[in-house]
Amino acid sequence: MSSAGARERGLDRASAPPYSPIDLGEDTVEGRTENPPDYSGPASASRPRRREHHQAIPTPRQTVEHSYSLSKGSRSSPHQPWLTLKLESYAESPVSTPVVLEGKSVKGSVELSLDKPEDITQVIVVFKGRIIAKDVGDKRTFYQREVTLWDRSMGDSNSPTSPSSSTTFKGKLTGQYVWPFAIDLQNRFMSKSRDINDFKLAKEERLPPNLRGHNDLPLIDYQISVNIKRSSIFRLNSSLSSPVTYVPEIPVPRFSDVRERAYGQNVAFLPGPSEDQGGWYKTSFAPVRGLMFKTREIEVDYSLFIALPLTYTRGGVIPLYLVLQSKDKQAVDLLSNARAVRVALGRTLSVPNRFAPEIDSHVGGDAGASRTCRVAWRAIGAENSLLSCSILYGEIALPPNLTPSFSLGQFCMQYYVDVYAPQPTGFEPHTSGRLSRTEITISANSVSGSQPRNLLPPGEVPDIGKENADETFGALADAFHRQSNVSVFGSRGDSLAY
């Protein structure tokens, strides 16, 4: 999928790819907690299950430090760590899951505190990305970078008489050791032959974001670990790891100068298509036709304008203009009713068939408020001498925890602005399904310059019908706030051209 640009999606699914397009519920990234591990065994360092608050990545970006450790577990010092992994990340706080950004190195340090000699042969830090199919027990590492911090060929860094690098160190490590590291992550990787065959990956792919499915189980995840290897058959190797959230870089282009000035002037609503001709994208679909009050046929031109560019920051807004025009004023008034307009944020996740059981495909009334998006509308009266016209300004409020748009072989997350036929009381549309679908891109990055913000109060969540539930991520609200004798398209009576 292209990271930018608009595409209208029709209703014909004849050309659908040979994998399952399924809508996904709420996205979260969570850690997991285990009791302090035994001194000699492997362990995973993480935290109590909690919901992360995903926000746009700010500029400039500030880092925090995360710390994970393995304790000795002895009676004399049960909580004294002997192995500590410290990470710098762009998370909101040290207690959040570490966040790694595309184009940035993974930096940190490994510390050993050994109060008795240990027969350690190697210390390695590994960053890996995995595709996980729980139903078939398949965990596939598609990306891995590792750095050797120490091995016997490097000698004992704490010894002033350490042998040269040409001589293998044969002793045991004891005391305090600190090894800083920096892992340069390449945003693209070469796919393995098995992954190319099983997941239809290209030979070269871009690193995707984390992805979770049913019951919040990971489908695509990342982790960083430090591995301590020993030569003794009586002591196990040790491993300390942490989950990591990887955020790909999806630039958000600046919007039009007209819109940027409007945000700086604290306007009540944004300038419309006639005042900002290069700032809006017009969707196209057939006029809305149906039976009004079971007595007569009506036809209304229904045009939705979406703010350009079609790349938006999660946690932000998507500004909209909706224009209804007809020779029948009563029809326009009915279809622009507060409960009539049905606009939705569509989201589909395509996955290989073997992963389908892991996807949460349920989207309905009990899906929870955090899974739904809202849109608020403000009605702006406008007419011309030829047609009755109603103009509505709206905003889709994007949840801050959306997974960014991405494509990885048969894995593909796509977002859309969907328009459905209006269904006010007293009107029966000939087509109750989706009228248009416009693909958009969701990014975790913020736009430079003036930041978009909500100009309208939160709306409500309308019912788009069970027949559309499997096509839509969340219904969008239609709370209208009427404002008389105001038009951002020009003076009343001006000709409206779209």
Domain assignment of residue 487, yes or no: no
pLDDT(77) > 70: no
Domain that holds residue 39: 31-247
How big is the CA angle at 482 (ends 461 and 454), to the nearest 5 degrees? 55
Number of domains, the chain: 2
Q: Assess whether 239 and 270 both reside in one domain.
A: no
Q: Assess whether 230 and 373 both reside in one domain.
A: no
Q: If residue 311 lies in a helix (H) or strand (E), which one and from where to where?
A: strand 311-313
Q: How far apart are CA 305 and CA 286, in angstroms?
A: 15
Q: Assess whether 150 and 208 both reside in one domain.
A: yes
Domain assignment of residue 491, yes or no: no
- pTM, entire model: 0.76
Domain assignment of residue 486, yes or no: no
Q: Give the sign of the dihedral formed by CA 55, CA 445, CA 458, CA 413.
A: negative
Q: Assess whether 236 and 278 both reside in one domain.
A: no
Q: If residue 261 lies in a helix (H) or strand (E), which one and from where to where?
A: helix 257-264
Q: How far apart are CA 274 and CA 231, in angstroms?
A: 74
Q: Assess whether 83 and 126 both reside in one domain.
A: yes
Q: H-type helices in 236-305, by residue range?
A: 257-264
- Cα separations (Å) of 391 from 268, 310, 324, 335, 388? 15, 21, 6, 11, 10
Are the CB atoms for 469 and 348 separated by under 8 Å? no
Q: How far apart are CA 160 and CA 177, in angstroms?
A: 14
pLDDT(257) > 70: yes
Among the residue ranges 160-164, 196-200, 421-425, 478-482, the one predicted with the least confidence is 478-482
How big is the CA angle at 377 (ends 479 and 299), to the nearest 5 degrees? 100
Q: How far apart are CA 107 and CA 244, in angstroms?
A: 13
Q: Assess whether 202 and 278 both reside in one domain.
A: no
Domain assignment of residue 489, yes or no: no
- The overall average pLDDT reported for the chain is 75
Higher pLDDT, 50 or 488: 50
Grouping H, G, I as helix, E, B as strand and the rest as coil, residue 378 is strand
Within 8 A by CB and 6+ apart from 335, the residues are 288, 300, 302, 324, 341, 390, 422, 424, 427
pLDDT(201) > 60: yes
Tokens of 56: 């746009």
Q: Assess whether 271 and 394 both reside in one domain.
A: yes
Grouping H, G, I as helix, E, B as strand and the rest as coil, residue 167 is coil
Q: What is the pLDDT of residue 379?
A: 75
pLDDT(225) > 80: yes
Q: What is the CATH number of the domain that holds 140?
A: 2.60.40.640
Per-residue pLDDT tens digits for 23-51: 333 332 333 333 333 333 344 443 333 44
Domain assignment of residue 5, yes or no: no
Per-residue pLDDT tens digits for 91-124: 999 999 999 999 999 999 999 999 899 889 999 9
Q: How far apart are CA 100 and CA 141, in angstroms?
A: 18
State the burial class of residue 114 (Cβ atoms within 10 Å of its Cβ: 0-12, 13-18, 19+): middle
Interval 335-347 mean pLDDT: 83
Q: Assess whether 241 and 266 both reside in one domain.
A: no
Grouping H, G, I as helix, E, B as strand and the rest as coil, residue 109 is strand
pLDDT(180) > 90: yes
Q: Assess whether 279 and 174 both reside in one domain.
A: no
Nearest to 363 by CA among 89, 25, 13: 25
Q: How far apart are CA 202 and CA 448, in angstroms?
A: 32
Q: Assess whether 286 and 198 both reside in one domain.
A: no
Domain assignment of residue 333, yes or no: yes
Residue 252: phi and psi, rounded to 5, are: -105, 105
Q: Assess whether 296 and 232 both reside in one domain.
A: no
